[in-house]
Amino acid sequence: MSGHEDINVFFVEDDRVVAELVRAALRHAGYTVTGYAVSGEQALELLPALMGAPTEPAVVLMDYLLPGINGLETVQVIMDRWPLPVVMLTAYDASELVAEASAAGVGAYLIKPPTARELERAITIAMARFDDLMALRAVNGRLERTLADLQAAERRLVEQERMAAVGKMATHIAHNFNNILMPVLLYADLTLQTPELPTKVRERMQSVIDQVRHAVDLVQGMLDFSGSAWLKRKQVDLVVLVQETLVMLGATWPEDISFVFDHGTDHYIVDVDPVRIQQILVNLVVNAREAMPLGGRLRLAVERVDLGEGEALPLPDLTPGAWVRASIEDTGTGILPAALPHIFEPFFTTQAPLKVGMGLAQVYGIVAQHGGHTGVTSEVGKGTVFVFYLPAVRDGVDDAG
């Protein structure tokens, strides 16, 4: 005996003759066979009951060729669920198999039929290598997470730079476009003041003025997106703004769309331009209504969110602090995944080609100009949730950012 009685071995082998010989060799080497299975499926059924029990295996001896799932596939599941040192048994030697076995987490490799001395040596090696394997896996996991974080940060940086470039271009276009629109609007308005102007001409001039005002609205949208618009700030309760917006929209609300407004009893004070915030609320609510042509449910919610240092952030660019979050959730058609990264870009639309505008770009720009952040999640056929965060104000002091 070699003094290995405290080492429990779980053994998987479908050939019963080979199994008896290997079990005898294990007993001769001083090991305790704590479990035995004839297939990978059976091994995965038996192991949960053994883990944490006094008979918990310290090492797994695994045959390579098994009925159903093979030994390597079984090892991969074991290493994911209950990491244990593994010795692989096979009837033939091949460098490709050794590489696959190592990648799966196998610590040692034996050719059948092994002697008791070979079994003892392989189990010793597998157990010695196990801690190093787990440490390496932990390092690899951290590296993978770090790489994923870096890639996500790179994507956010590219997105921010792209949106900043679009914002600069929008500002330039808006100012130049305004310079073109102003004389058109002025001349059309002066023409309307002409005495005894023919009715047909008057109608045409009014049509010109209406179209120019529509263009002015688009220009204002570009300025909002770029953060160049002027704000008239004051401290208001966001819940009150939402309630006023719902009253304003109530008269035209379809009967087949129900809505609920959820909020607590706290104060949700933000330092904002109320007209601009109502504008984005109208944009988001109307968008949600149009996304439910067959009816549905609209949910609005306002809540305080206090983010601590080191806490998981709901949006990548949020910073720790106190925020007021508004969410607008519909049960509509949803947005295609390919469209989501572009949803806040100027003139981008998921609707008919002629229905272009600055609605969501304005939402993005106005929220950003207030020091806030905007996000969207959507699932095709199930609906969309738009959220925006604004810095919370408590006792006259801005708490976020």
Q: Which of 103, 106, 101, 109 is nearest to 85 (CA)?
A: 106
Of 28 and 349, the structure prediction assigns the larger pLDDT to 28
pLDDT for 377 beyond 90: yes
Q: What percentage of the chain exceeds 70 in pLDDT?
A: 83
Torsion over CA of 314, 316, 320 and 323, rounded to 10 degrees? -50
How far apart are alpha carbons 85 and 381 in whole angstroms?
47
**For residue 355, what pLDDT band results from cuts at 50, 70 and 90?**
very low
The strand pairing partners of 306, in sequence order, are 322
State the pLDDT at residue 109. 79
What average pLDDT does the segment 308-336 reach? 90
User: If DSSP codes are grouped into helix, strand and coil, which group holds residue 112?
Assistant: coil
List pLDDT tens digits, range 174-198. 667 677 777 877 877 788 888 888 8
List pLDDT tens digits, range 128-180. 888 777 777 777 778 888 887 777 777 767 666 666 666 666 666 666 767 77
Structure letter (DSSP) for residue 196: T
Structure letter (DSSP) for residue 313: P
HSE, side-chain direction, 13 A CA sphere, residue 118: 11
What spatial distance separates the first Cα and last Cα of the chain, rounded to whole Å?
A: 69
Of 290 and 114, the structure prediction assigns the larger pLDDT to 290
Domains of the chain: 8-139 (3.40.50.2300), 153-226 (1.10.287), 234-398 (3.30.565.10)
Q: Token pair of 253, please?
A: 């609300």
Distances from the Cα of 331 to the Cα of 46, 270, 349, 350, 366, angstroms = 45, 28, 19, 16, 25
**What does the DSSP assignment read for 43-85?**
HHHHHHHHTTSTT--SEEEEESS-SSS-HHHHHHHHHHHS---
Q: Token pair of 49, please?
A: 């009951």
**Contact of 378 with 335, CB cutoff 8 Å:** yes
Give, for 285, the enclosing helix (H) or strand (E).
helix 274-290
Q: Would you say the pTM of this structure is higher than 0.75?
A: no
Q: Token pair of 339, please?
A: 């469209």
What average pLDDT does the segment 376-388 reach? 93
